[in-house]
Structure formats: C-alpha cells, structure tokens
Amino acid sequence: MSSLEGKVAVVTGGNSGIGYASAQALKAHGATVVISGRNSDRVNQAASELGLTGVVADVSDLNAIDHLVEEVKAKHGQIDILFVNAGIFSPAPIGQVTEEMFDHQMGINFKGAVFTIEKFLPIIKDGGSIINLSSINAYTGMPNTAIYAASKAAMNSYTRTASTELAPRGIRVNAVNPGPVSTPIFGKTGMSEEQLNGFAQAIQARVPLKRFGTPEDIAKLVVFLASDDASYITGGEYNIDGGTNVNPLLVG
Ligand code: NAD
C-alpha cells in the first residue's frame, strides 16, 4: 500500500467505531490525522489515545462544521483526505416516524455529510480523496430502517454526482457500504441488552461469512481508497459486508 506520508486526513466521528479504527490506520500509514465528534470527553480521550488532534463539532450544526474547518485550516492549511463517517442509526417502524426523528436522522447522516463536504471543499487539495461512509442498508429492505436506509441511499447518489463534478480538480469521491460491523452504534439505539443480543444473532445468521465485520476491516478499505493506489477509482461504491448484500435465501 502506498504511504500516506505528508498527507493530512480529517475523519468525522473519529472518536468511536469505524472512524476510530480508520483514524488509527490512516495515521499508521503516515497521514497526519484530525478527528471530530460531538462529545468533548470522548473526542479528547480518543485523540489522546491515538496521539492526534481532536475537534468537537456536531455535523448537524453548520456553524460547528465551519469551526472545524477553521481549526484544520489554521493548523494544516489544506487537507488531502476527508473521511465523511459521522452517523447515527435510529431504527423506527413506518407509521411511527415523527418529523423530529426524520430531521435528526437525515440531519446527521445526509445533511451533515453534504455540508461537511461543502465546507471542506475549499481546503481540499486538487487530487484529494473524499470517502463517504454509507451502508448496504441503502440497498436492502431491512425492517425499521426506512429513514436510515434512505439517508445512506441519498449519500450514494450524492457520491456519484460529486465524483463527476469534482473530477476536473482530480478529487476522487467514493462510497463505502459496510454490512454489520461491531461498533457501539447499536447500543445507542435504546434497545435493551437482550434485544441487542437477539438482533445481533439474527443479523449474523444472515451474513454468508457468519460474522460481524470489525472496524479494522472497514479501515483497510478506507486507507486504500485514500491512497494513491486508488488513483483511478472515483464514483465507486464498495460493499464490505461478508456477502450480506447478495441476500441469499439459503446460507449453508
Ligand atoms: P459509532 O457510534 O461507534 O460511531 C459514530 C461516530 O459518529 C461517533 O464518533 C459519533 O461521535 C459520531 N457522530 C454521531 N453523530 C454525530 C454528530 N451529530 N456530529 C458529529 N459526530 C457525530 O458507530 P459506527 O458504527 O462506527 O458508525 C460510523 C458510520 O458507519 C456511520 O455513518 C454508520 O451509519 C455507518 N455504518 C455502520 C455500520 C455498523 O454496522 N456499525 C454499518 C454500516 C454503516
């Protein structure tokens, strides 16, 4: 894998799960990394564990994104890699979706992602790499995920358009679609321990490779897409899901 030496990377939601593992892997490959997140204690703790800079910025607050960009610009000038990872998973059945739930889910997963890119764009170097963390839920009909799935499907559509519009600047834009990955995200849904265990078992049974992914599995793909080894890849989407998206009716 090409070194990321000399490159500056920003990872939103870098204090936990996939973002944390990706920040660690980007740094291990030589990049200077800045992480953001919305909880100051968690951001500061992760930043000190990883030995990098952390900035508190809620992506659903456009002023907070402005502040993040200003901090990064003041310290690094420009960036090479933007990993748009911050997101939440708020399952709700159709018929019980409130306007507040809709705005919260879309406000972070889609609007937050779009304005992260809008606001970083002026300081992304020509030839840079934007990686959007989507989900295979963008393609599945998993019950209770209508709004979450739509937020990710919107991201994939946005990624395709952004890749053609930003191609003249040599900026590559790709989406990563994980399947189930062991991170704290599910514990934040309000489900009980028992519900979470049942949910995890039911999901795992549907994964042909019979396991949840690890944040490190996803981080390896993120590092590749960030690197010059992926210099001819833009507008792509990469399922990384143990085969889940092929939706087998029978799994041996
Ligand atoms: P996680 O809960 O461990 O991490 C989510 C991160 O996003 C945290 O750092 C959190 O602080 C940050 N975040 C959430 N809301 C934010 C906000 N308003 N402003 C700034 N930061 C915010 O979960 P994860 O599983 O690592 O999730 C990362 C991404 O991966 C999400 O976009 C999620 O939708 C996506 N994803 C996860 C899975 C999975 O199975 N874990 C599968 C597919 C996609």
Query: How would DSSP label each residue in 213-250?
Result: B-HHHHHHHHHHHHSGGGTT--S-EEEESTTGGG--S-
Domain that holds residue 202: 8-239
Q: What is the mean pLDDT of residues 126-147?
A: 96
pLDDT at residue 143, rounded to an integer: 93
| Structural domain contains residue 248 | no
Q: What is the mean pLDDT of residues 41-66?
A: 98
Residue 148 annotated among the catalytic residues of the structure: yes
| Structural domain contains residue 190 | yes
Question: Is 249's pLDDT higher than 90?
Answer: no
Residues paired with residue 79 on neighbouring β-strands, in sequence order: 124
* Substitution site in 183, 217, 245 for ligand 1 pocket (most atoms within 8 Å of beta carbon): 183
Worst-scoring range by mean pLDDT, 39-43, 103-107, 191-195? 191-195
| Structural domain contains residue 1 | no
Question: Is 248's pLDDT higher than 80?
Answer: no
Nearest-atom number in ligand 1 for the CA of 213 is 40
**Rounded to the nearest whole angstrom, what is the distance from the C-alpha of residue 166 to the centroid of ligand 1?**
25
Q: What is the mean pLDDT of residues 49-73?
A: 98
| Structural domain contains residue 233 | yes
Is there a contact between 4 and 220 (Cβ–Cβ < 8 Å)?
Answer: no
Query: 190 falls in which pLDDT band (50, 70, 90)?
Result: confident
**Rounded to the nearest whole angstrom, what is the distance from the C-alpha of residue 86 to the centroid of ligand 1?**
5
| Structural domain contains residue 73 | yes
Evaluate if pTM is beyond 0.85. yes
Q: How many domains does the chain have?
A: 1
pLDDT at residue 51, rounded to an integer: 98
Where residue 243 falls (left for φ over 0; alpha for ψ -120 to 50; beta otherwise) is: left
* Substitution site in 15, 16, 50 for ligand 1 pocket (most atoms within 8 Å of beta carbon): 16
Query: 252 falls in which pLDDT band (50, 70, 90)?
Result: low
pLDDT at residue 139, rounded to an integer: 95
Pairing of strands 237-240, 79-84: unpaired
Report the residue count for the chain: 252
SS3 content of the chain, % helix, strand, coil (to 5): 50, 15, 30
Query: From CA 211, how far away is CA 214, in angstroms rounded?
Result: 9
Domain at 87, CATH number: 3.40.50.720
Q: Which residue of the set 148, 158, 232, 238 is catalytic? A: 148
Query: From CA 52, how far away is CA 75, in angstroms rounded?
Result: 12
| Structural domain contains residue 231 | yes
Binding-site residues, ligand 1, Cβ < 6 A: 12-13, 15-19, 37-39, 58-60, 85-89, 108, 112, 133, 135, 178, 180-181, 183-185, 188
Q: What is the mean pLDDT of residues 141-145?
A: 93
